[in-house]
């Protein structure tokens, strides 16, 4: 299972990279909009910092314009993955990009049917948004389970990238379900490390050692 960091903040990426757990980055327009400065420079910097896939989303809504944006984005760095929303236009774009050998991340996936169609179109990754489904009273993790079953049933090579992860429990469950990759914000990554028994155990070891 790969772990990606869900951010466009270069300092956060460096912090996570130092822990040795991060194999890629996912951005989205909201995350890039929060960062001051030229977004292309930021993307270039992220791609230099991280060897693995860096997802960057197209903003256009029609296939020719999406393809034009994707062509520009892939010039930034060889590890760019084009994020495309799962709409009718997005599926056409994913298919075209697949035909041209360009990796894609089908984003804003909220149903197994959307993910299956994105996989058929040739998406490299599909990103089901767990937290946003939970936000509207649905079971985001059930979608991961359904996708793992369906993709296994038909031997689809598209990778399930669990996204919109809000908690350690989301991360744990997505890993148990066999998600191929999980993208998390830095706050969740830091929470994954913490355990009160580690802290109290360490305090006791040091206290005992001090008595020697
Ligand atoms: C994934 O690619 C998205 O950038 C992200 O996980 C969305 O998460 P959010 O629902 O917490 O904004």
Six-digit token string for 175: 């890993």
Catalytic residue among 75, 83, 204, 211: 83
Cα 201 to middle of ligand 1, angstroms? 35
CA end-to-end span of the chain: 43
Distance from chain centroid for Cα 6? 6
So what's the pLDDT on residue 43?
Answer: 98
The string of pLDDT tens digits covering residues 63-118 is 999 999 999 999 999 999 999 999 999 999 999 999 999 999 999 999 999 999 99
Distance of CA 96 to the CA centre of its chain: 22
Counting from 1 in the atom list of ligand 1, the atom nearest the Cα of 131 is: 10
The whole-number pLDDT of residue 163 equals 98
In a mutational test of the pocket of ligand 1, which residue from 129, 171, 179 has the highest number of ligand atoms less than 8 Å from its CB? 129
Q: Which residues line ligand 1 (CB under 6 A)?
A: 6, 26, 28, 107, 127, 129, 131-132, 163-164, 183
Give the contacts of 49 (CB within 8 A, at least 6 positions apart).
10, 13, 14, 17
Instruction: For residue 3, report the phi and psi dihedrals to the nearest 5 degrees.
Output: -115, 125
Average pLDDT taken over every residue of the chain: 98
Gap between the Cα atoms of 185 and 17, Å rounded: 13
Taking the C-alpha atoms of residue 206 and residue 210, their distance in angstroms, rounded to an integer, is 6
Nearest Cα residue to atom 4 of ligand 1: 28
Question: What's the pTM value of the predicted model, to 2 decimals?
Answer: 0.96
**From 134, 164, 166, 174, mutation site for ligand 1 pocket: most ligand atoms within 8 A of C-beta:** 164
Q: In a 3-state reduction of DSSP, which class is residue 136?
A: coil
- Bridge partners (DSSP) listed for residue 4: 24, 183
User: Would you mind telling me the total number of residues written for the chain in this entry?
Assistant: 212
Give tens-digit pLDDT for 120-175: 999 999 999 999 999 999 999 999 999 999 999 999 999 999 999 999 999 999 99
Q: Which atom of ligand 1 is nearest to the CA of 183?
A: 6
CATH of domain 2-210: 3.20.20.70
The answer to whether the CB of 7 falls within 8 A of the CB of 25 is yes
Residue 83: active-site member: yes
CA of 28 to the centre of ligand 1 (A): 7
**Nearest Cα residue to 80 out of 115, 107, 43, 106:** 43
Residue 4: strand, helix, or coil: strand
* Cα distances (angstroms) measured from residue 198 to each of 173, 195, 204: 22, 5, 10
Q: Where are the domains of the chain?
A: 2-210
Three-state DSSP state, 161: strand
Q: Which residues pair with 106 in a beta bridge?
A: 84, 126
Beta strands in 29-145 (DSSP E): 54-57, 80-85, 104-109, 125-128
Two tokens, residue 201: 């155990």
pLDDT digits (tens, 9 = 90+) for 173-207: 999 999 999 999 999 999 999 999 999 999 999 99
């Amino acid at each position: 299972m790969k772990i990606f960091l869900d951010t466009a903040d270069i300092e956060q990426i460096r912090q996570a990279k130092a822990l040795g757990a991060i194999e890629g980055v996912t951005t989205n327009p909201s995350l890039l909009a929060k960062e001051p400065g030229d977004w292309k420079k930021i993307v270039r910097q992220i791609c230099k910092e991280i060897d693995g896939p860096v997802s960057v989303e197209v903003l256009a809504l029609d296939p020719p314009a999406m393809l034009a944006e994707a062509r520009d984005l892939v010039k930034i760095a060889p590890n760019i993955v084009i994020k495309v929303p799962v709409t009718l236009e997005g599926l056409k774009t994913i298919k075209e990009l697949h035909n041209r050998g360009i990796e894609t991340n089908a984003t804003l996936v909220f149903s197994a049917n959307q993910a299956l169609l994105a996989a058929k179109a040739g998406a490299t990754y599909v990103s089901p948004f767990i937290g946003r489904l939970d936000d509207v009273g649905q079971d985001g993790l059930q979608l991961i389970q359904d996708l793992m079953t369906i993709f296994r049933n038909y031997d689809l090579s598209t990778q399930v990238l669990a996204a919109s992860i809000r908690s350690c429990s989301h991360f744990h469950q997505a890993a148990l379900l066999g998600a191929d990759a999980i993208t998390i914000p830095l706050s969740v990554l830091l929470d994954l490390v913490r355990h009160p028994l580690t802290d109290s155990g360490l305090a006791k070891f040091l206290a005992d050692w001090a008595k020697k």
